Structure 1
Amino acid sequence: MRRVRMTKSSKLLFGAHSGDFASLSRHLPDPANGLLVALSGGLDSTVLLDLLRQWAAKTGAELAAVHVDHQLRPSSKHDAAFCRRLCHQWGIPLVLETLDIARDGSTQESARVQRYAAIAQVAQRLGLGAVATAHHADDALETALLNFRRGTSSGGLAALLSKTEAPIPAWPDLELVRPLVEAPKARIHQYAEARGLEWVNDPTNLEGSYERNRLRHDVLPGLTDDGALLAPMLATLENLASERDALESIARTCLEGARLASPDAESIALDCAPLRKAPRAVAMLVLQRATHALPAEVALTREHLQEVLDAIESETSLDLAVRGAHVSIERGFVIVEVARGRGGKHLFTRQAHPIPIAAANLDGTSNLDETSARDGQVPWFGTTLRWKANQSVDSLVVRGPRPGDRLDARGLDGHKRVVDVLKEAGVPRSFRWRWPCLVHQQKVEWICGLRQATREDDTPPDTRTIRLFWDLEPDSVFNRVVGQTTNCFDLQYF
């Protein structure tokens, strides 16, 4: 990273024991990636924007700001107008975002989640690779105390100093930096006065109804001896953050070993074996990080995680409803699906709609031995179904199993329920409705990859043939059950 000399006023923030601002803050992104600054118009974010515009001028970094109006107080429009004037004065592009925050549950938490989601969307829209917030050293300690009172892990204690902790579960691949996190609030105020800056004050910061405000005004001054003990306390949090980042690195490696190909965007699948071998702290992080890939907020509490890990270690089945999702453990797999108000019973009884199989080549010249060629193909829950046919095809579909479906086969007393074939093959309950079945004229001809119906021995001369291939991802639940990546079936009919 290019070295940037400190100005006299910026040394007020971090002290004068180093001449290099970048090495002191240790929290600036690569200038080539561009930076979006979250600007509330308050003291902290105004100081941050002033500091970063100097940094951008010297490094050539692309810089923009975003102001999010939560519309939770009458003066919020005044804040937005101030940010607009400030950015116009400094020549910094500004994006204004307005939110409609529901006033049920925790208003502050809802506002925080929606604010970060809006900021991330703006950064992606502008093509900027990093987001900067104005959290400072006092904020880091306040957050640690809040989480400590509520019960937390090292990640909660060092949340504002960790380089890997995402601010919200659905946070995209954006770098989040906090350049002021080592600067005490008092020095930020000194910097603003030295620079002659103006800012707006949020009156809610003085309200005693908020737990953070009570900690800030009533607890923190005595705990830090009016700031004298802030530095060693911050050093403790930095140590915790470093250890947490190391744990996160181990968890990422474990997650890569446990992750299976997802059947769709609203579910994840994990192999239980790597989680069973990992220390509990690592396995908990793996489960938490895996659910962050889902397009909904999934609330896995510590109690939920303990229950899931107990089932994994004892190799027992589990159905668990959590806020936002359903967790099932069966046959050595952990499967988490976004619930969207649906319970486990409804999730497991869904039906995969039929897809017609139609031959593109109708002149009878298709070479059924060319497995790489195809007359048609369709995606199927992360897999691919493709086919070759030497004649036109009628009344042939691929669909999921239905209640009452049976397979005609020798040795099965003439027929057997499709659901029983899936159970005996070890297909997890949450995957059975997804399992493809080839159906001709309402008769199940092939439970793909598992079993085919018995056909008559005498084949008429005008028999037509379709060859169906089912291609699977190597690391998927489908492949783990079937045991091979490509499955082939010839259906002869007339």
Structure 2
Amino acid sequence: MASELPELVGKVLSRHPCAGVRWVGYSGGLDSTVLLHLLTRMGLPVRALHIHHGLSAHADHWQRHCEGMAALLGVPIKVRRVQVETAAGGLEQGARRARYRAFAEQLTDGDQILLAQHGDDQVETFLLRLLRGAGALGLGAMAESRPLPLAGEGRATLLRPLLGAGRAQLEDYAHACGLDWIEDESNRDTAIERNYLRARVLPALAERWPVRARVARAAGNLREAAELLGDLGAVDLAACQRRRERWGESVDLGALGRLPERRQKNLLRSWLASCGAEMPAAQQLDEVLAQVRDAAADSVPAVAVGGLVARRFRERLYLTPRLPAVTASADWRWRGDTILALPGGGALSPGADWPVGDYVVRFRRGGERAHPLGRGHSQTLKKLLQEHGLEPWLRDRVPLVYRAATTETPIAVGDLFRCEAGLPDALAWRFGWAAGAILD
């Protein structure tokens, strides 16, 4: 019943206390409107986050509606416009990727993002994944709560406090409170798989079985089985020397290869899940394992998997975010007293001892030479980066620091080595972990 919703939501929130800001993913539809109204009626401080996908001719109207409703409820609202890419997975998957990327960029450490998926959505998700041949983790469907990796440091939490309710309860609540909401015209398009299930399949199933209750029970059992597999995956990840890298993470290939193949796949699933990635199809895992296992020692294969990229280098398997394109022709003037943000997600940070001065920073353009301290002569930068074991995919992104008065040879190459006497070892070249999170 609609009157039970405040108690239901209150219990979920009490199980998942928030150390930061509570955000509500607010589309303006029925579900998120009810959730936002419920939280304000319960006297909880929240902020609304509206994602403008730009996919509908009505998108600007939806934004104005959400801004108006938020003002009426006295809730601060933030609007994020996103670019939806459909090349990998189609429109629905592209919109989901863009939405979760916006969440990761907007939230900070300790925040929560509350989404309004309910029990009927859970049934649809379960059946869609069953029809796509998902395993235990996928059939565990949507979790009530899970970590959300951020674009910067730290983690937020994704929370779904309405999974124990059905759409009919939300409709009753909305009508009783006189709420207005948006009807997305795409929800009537039965060419979309989820809409087909909702309109054609689930009504017939519900005539004979209590589908929502049965699916909730099955999904709970499968999620418990998936958690056990996750526990095993965490043990295997530790045994394979999982470590944070400058860009992404890596594990030891030799230790991975000594595991049975089923545990190798389970390790990859657990690793992807912990990074906030999509769960890949079984054939994708087979491809990753085959390419990294069978690749020549001097090759650097890269396989897209779960929205991330699996790479091999020097007997380690890396899992990294996709690298955004950068241009090598730009120069950046820098005084050496602030963090310099670099294209592609990198940053050059000076330590307290780094001297303030007039510097130029640039990426490799080809043909550079450098003379590290302690070497008798200069060498090509390409050879020096190989010697230092810098991953090949980062070699065109290492910041080269020059004196502005002369840009013939660098005085420092990232935080790898210095080329001028008297300079302190006080630079840090870092990347933020931007998994881009695509999730259930």
Give the TM-score range, shorter chain. 0.5 to 0.7
2:365 corresponds to: none
**Does 1:303 pair with 2:283?**
yes
2:331 corresponds to: none
Shift of 1:65: 0.6
For residues 144 and 188 of structure 1, what CA distance do their matches in structure 2 show? 20
For residues 306 and 243 of structure 1, what CA distance do their matches in structure 2 show? 22
Q: Deviations over 1:405-439 (max 9, x none)?
A: xxxxxxxxxxxxxx9xx9xxxx99969x89xxxxx
Residue 242 to residue 172, structure 1, CA distance change in 2 (3 Å): farther
Shift of 1:375: 12
Retained in 1: the 8 A contact 2:123–2:211? no
For residues 331 and 100 of structure 1, what CA distance do their matches in structure 2 show? 36
Residue 61 of structure 2, aligned match among 60, 67, 78: 78
Shift of 1:222: 1.4
1:37 corresponds to: 24
Retained in 2: the 8 A contact 1:298–1:322? no
Partner of 1:10, secondary structure, is helix
**Does 1:205 pair with 2:167?**
no
Residue 327 to residue 68, structure 1, CA distance change in 2 (3 Å): closer
**Does 1:53 pair with 2:40?**
yes
Residue 88 to residue 268, structure 1, CA distance change in 2 (3 Å): same
Retained in 1: the 8 A contact 2:51–2:99? yes
For residues 145 and 51 of structure 1, what CA distance do their matches in structure 2 show? 29
Letter in 1 for 2:250: A
Retained in 2: the 8 A contact 1:299–1:322? no
Residue 9 to residue 117, structure 1, CA distance change in 2 (3 Å): same
Partner of 1:246, secondary structure, is helix
Aligned length: 357
Q: Deviations over 1:39-77 (max 9, x none)?
A: 11111001111222234x2xxx54111111112112222
Letter in 2 for 1:247: L
Shift of 1:259: 3.8
Residue 3 of structure 2, aligned match among 7, 10, 23: 10
Retained in 2: the 8 A contact 1:140–1:158? no
For residues 113 and 210 of structure 1, what CA distance do their matches in structure 2 show? 17
Q: How does 1:343-358 map to 2 (within 5 A)?
A: none
2:10 corresponds to: 22
Report the TM-score, using the length of structure 1 for normalisation: 0.59
2:139 corresponds to: 157
**Does 1:118 pair with 2:102?**
yes
Shift of 1:280: 4.7
**Does 1:268 pair with 2:249?**
yes
Retained in 1: the 8 A contact 2:18–2:110? no
For residues 220 and 179 of structure 2, what CA distance do their matches in structure 1 show? 30
For residues 321 and 113 of structure 1, what CA distance do their matches in structure 2 show? 20
Q: Deviations over 1:376-427 (max 9, x none)?
A: 9xxxxxxxxxx987xxx87456955289xxxxxxxxxxxxxxx9xx9xxxx9
Residue 284 of structure 1, aligned match among 262, 265, 268: 265
Shift of 1:175: 0.7
For residues 62 and 341 of structure 1, what CA distance do their matches in structure 2 show? 36
1:176 corresponds to: 158
Structure 2 portions without partners, runs of 5+: 326-352, 356-371, 397-420, 426-440
Shift of 1:148: 1.7
Residue 123 to residue 150, structure 1, CA distance change in 2 (3 Å): same
For residues 223 and 280 of structure 1, what CA distance do their matches in structure 2 show? 38
For residues 268 and 151 of structure 2, what CA distance do their matches in structure 1 show? 12
Further displaced range: 39-48 or 111-120: 111-120
1:346 corresponds to: none
2:93 corresponds to: 109
Retained in 2: the 8 A contact 1:10–1:51? no
Residue 174 to residue 167, structure 1, CA distance change in 2 (3 Å): closer
For residues 202 and 302 of structure 1, what CA distance do their matches in structure 2 show? 34
Retained in 1: the 8 A contact 2:147–2:158? no
Shift of 1:334: 2.2
Retained in 2: the 8 A contact 1:41–1:200? yes
Shift of 1:287: 2.4
**Does 1:65 pair with 2:48?**
yes
Letter in 2 for 1:149: L
Report the TM-score, using the length of structure 2 for normalisation: 0.65
**Does 1:93 pair with 2:76?**
yes
Retained in 2: the 8 A contact 1:37–1:65? yes
Shift of 1:327: 4.6
Retained in 2: the 8 A contact 1:268–1:337? yes
Partner of 2:200, secondary structure, is helix
Partner of 1:401, secondary structure, is helix
Residue 226 to residue 101, structure 1, CA distance change in 2 (3 Å): farther
Residue 108 to residue 258, structure 1, CA distance change in 2 (3 Å): same
Retained in 2: the 8 A contact 1:116–1:167? no
Retained in 2: the 8 A contact 1:328–1:430? no
For residues 274 and 179 of structure 2, what CA distance do their matches in structure 1 show? 41
Shift of 1:165: 7.5
Q: Deviations over 1:351-384 (max 9, x none)?
A: xxxxxxxxxxxxxxxxxxxxxxx999xxxxxxxx
For residues 144 and 199 of structure 2, what CA distance do their matches in structure 1 show? 25
The CA RMSD measured in Å over matched residues stands at 4.7
